[in-house]
Structure 1
């Protein structure tokens, strides 16, 4: 509560502008009685912000600065305001929106997202258990299996630094019968 106005902040991962704006639409539906739904997102080099009726530069830009100040990326932050009858002035609005957004981001759970390399792995049926053992050993994300007459084809995502060791271990576990697509120089 700031001068009888209630400010609620929400931060959520967003991997595209469309996903960020869908989060905004959902929150507007959840809090339709709120006076303002001010927001900002940063997704790689893309960013956008909106004051949603507050005086220009007093809400969206401060939320974006809070995102940048916390060093996060792929995030949408929405600050919902329920007007309490007391005007805060431009300085008060900037402090309220930036402080609310910064506190939300400061206390939010964070996780690092590392890029992965997509590969296609094909193994004969008799080596399927060896493949699945390696998937957990190398923290590989697997797609949906495709069964063929020769065995199983599986799309996988591997951390780039693990690719050489994963491919070597896979070839060892399958006695050289595994086929790996999507390699640059292997």
Structure 2
């Protein structure tokens, strides 16, 4: 998995479309509960609004951990789904989009609603600040004392972080490194130690 982007800070935008107001709010989130708490907040804050539509994506927008949306009474497929599509295309991971609509008296039709909700989120996304996330993997590597110095050189070469080291009859190192560098490091360790290096995966996580 390569780097992906997430929403770094909240953003807001107001779109006017044929007298209807579309108030858009983008929020960084890390769980469905977090997202739903913000939706409840806006439902209460704008209790007189005609619709409070929303969509969210958690994780990499190309391989999301979870995603969901709601049309909140608008014709099916005209609000939440277009909003989610914009989040995906603009690569706004870990992001909730809420669009509060006040009806202005002029019906927009299905196509007009899709365009309005899409534009509302897209224009808010234009104001958003993003942060890059680099997936990483944690490895435990056990090698002989003779290979320790060379291993430390390799860790620098592959931008690995040494988290812990311990000594017994061999050297045991716990490291974190970019996930896409793992295959090359494994191959080089196996080749240079003639298969003597012991490599195990401790855990996988995403970090900056």
TM-score (norm 2): 0.55
Does residue 27 (structure 1) correspond to residue 43 (structure 2)? The answer is no
Identify, as 1 or 2, the structure richer in helix. 1
Contact 2:69–2:80 (8 Å) recurs in 1? yes
The alpha-carbon distance between structure 1 residues 118 and 56, as it changes in their structure 2 partners (threshold 3 A), is same
Q: Secondary structure of 1:97's partner?
A: helix
Does 2:200 match 1:181?
yes
In 1, Cα distance between equivalents of 2:152 and 2:41: 42
8 A contact 1:11–1:77 mirrored in 2: yes
**1:53 pairs with 2:65:** no
Within the candidate set 159, 162, 184, 1:164 is matched to: 184
Helix, strand or coil: the match of 2:45?
coil
SS of residue paired to 1:26 = helix
Is 1:64 aligned to residue 76 of structure 2?
no
SS at match of 1:66: helix
Q: 2:107 aligns with which of 57, 79, 89?
A: 89
Distance in 1 (CA, whole Å) between partners of 2:129 and 2:91 is: 11
Aligned equivalent of 1:38, options 45, 54, 57: 54
Number of equivalenced pairs:
172
Tell me which protein shows more strand as a share of its residues: 2
Q: CA deviation at 1:170?
A: 10
CA offsets 1:28-54 (integer angstroms, 9 cap, x no match): 354331341421435627653211233
Q: Matched residue of 2:38: which SS?
A: helix
Gaps spanning 5+ residues in structure 2: where?
1-13, 202-208
CA RMSD, aligned part only?
4.3
Relative distance call for 1:24 and 1:66 in structure 2 (3 A) is same
Runs of 5+ consecutive residues of structure 1 not aligned to the other structure:
none
Query: Secondary structure, in 3 states, of the residue corresponding to 2:140?
Result: strand
Say which of 57, 78, 82 aligns to 2:97.
Answer: 78
